[in-house]
Amino acid sequence: MSKVIHNPALASVDEHSTTSASFVIEPLQAGYGNTLGNSFRRVLLSSIRGSAIVSFRVEGASHEFTTIPGVKEDVVDIMLNLKNVRIKVDTDEPVELRLEKKGAGTVTAGDIKAHADVEIINPEQIIATIDDPKKSITMELVADSGRGYHTIEESSMQRVHSDHIALDAVFSPVLRVRFKVDATRVGQETNLDRLQVTIETDGTMSPVDAFEEAAAILVNQYTALAGSTTVEAAPALGQETIDDAGELNTPIEELSLSARTANALVNNEIRTVRDLVTLSEQDLRELKGFGSKALDEVKDKLAELDI
């Protein structure tokens, strides 16, 4: 049994689409799969920076409980539609936007006038419908960036314009997070965890960027609590010293070891170089039928291979 806690490795990233990806982390210490999975899920859903429309004003409407001549939807419906607009703001300051549409037809997020610091991710999102060809709609919008969820009360206190109608805002670009934990093994270590995290975003941020930001947030939180205490760590099991997958997968039988040493390793389920390099010297000494002479032979062979 190793005396250090091995760091995990990001074994693979499977990008299903631009908004969905799965991340496999392995191998993890026993029980760490649920620990990391829960931590990642909470941070991904609550703390990733994103953008949203936080207030608006419709010309001809002084409050949300009113209608607009020539427009099918009332102001409450427009509020709900604006909350579904996916928007990316590339500045830390609130951004003022404008929308104007004349004549009968559907008003969408794509009708919002272009702005250098703003990108509309879903321009097809319906905002309102003008059903009178002689009417028009003019709107002022304020978009901002933040984390988590802001209530209408919070948005009201931070309004850029006092005559705007505030919106509660969900800033998180992460729509859904799932994780599952499976058992895995590396060499003699059989009680290890394999964690798979699947992330779906709204398109304003890639799943990879969201995953990395969540990891960075967790690192900052725990580092602030650790003080000056450090714990010895080691690279992920099976990845300690070399990156050449072909060499790691070399069977024990092909290492030109003595028959007795090779048989002792194979009988203890050490079948490849990858399995072998996960074991410490003490681990090897504890193998059944593996003596000091065999240990010296293995050490010489690994040195010869520059491992």
Rounded to an integer, the average pLDDT of 40-69 is: 90
Percent of the chain at pLDDT > 90 equals 52
* CA torsion through residues 280, 286, 290, 292, sign: positive
For residue 246, what pLDDT band results from cuts at 50, 70 and 90? low
Predicted local distance difference test score (pLDDT) of residue 42? 96
pLDDT of residue 159: 73
Domain at 5-48+174-234, CATH class = alpha beta
Note the pLDDT of residue 109. Answer: 95
pLDDT in tens, 62-117: 777 888 888 999 999 999 999 999 999 999 899 999 999 999 999 999 999 999 99
What pLDDT score was predicted for residue 280?
Answer: 76
Q: What percent of the chain has pLDDT over 70?
A: 93
The string of DSSP codes covering 57-90 is: EETT-SSSS---TTBSS-HHHHHHHHTT--EEE-
Pairing of strands 233-234, 5-6: parallel
CB atoms within 10 A of CB 268: 19
Domain extent listing, the chain: 5-48+174-234, 49-170, 245-301
Task: Name the CA dihedral angle for 152, 153, 158, 161, rounded to a multiple of 10 degrees.
Answer: 70
Mean pLDDT computed over 264-284: 83
- In angstroms, what CA-CA distances link 238 with 11, 13, 101, 243, 245? 11, 19, 61, 9, 10
CATH for 245-301 is 1.10.150.20
pLDDT value of residue 3: 66
Check if CATH label 2.170.120.12 holds for domain 49-170: yes
Q: DSSP 3-state assignment of 188?
A: coil
User: For 185-227, what is each residue's pLDDT tens digit?
Assistant: 877 777 889 999 999 999 999 999 999 999 999 999 998 998 8
Least confident of 146-160, 244-258, 271-285: 244-258
Over the chain, what is the mean pLDDT? 88
What pLDDT does 239 receive?
A: 59
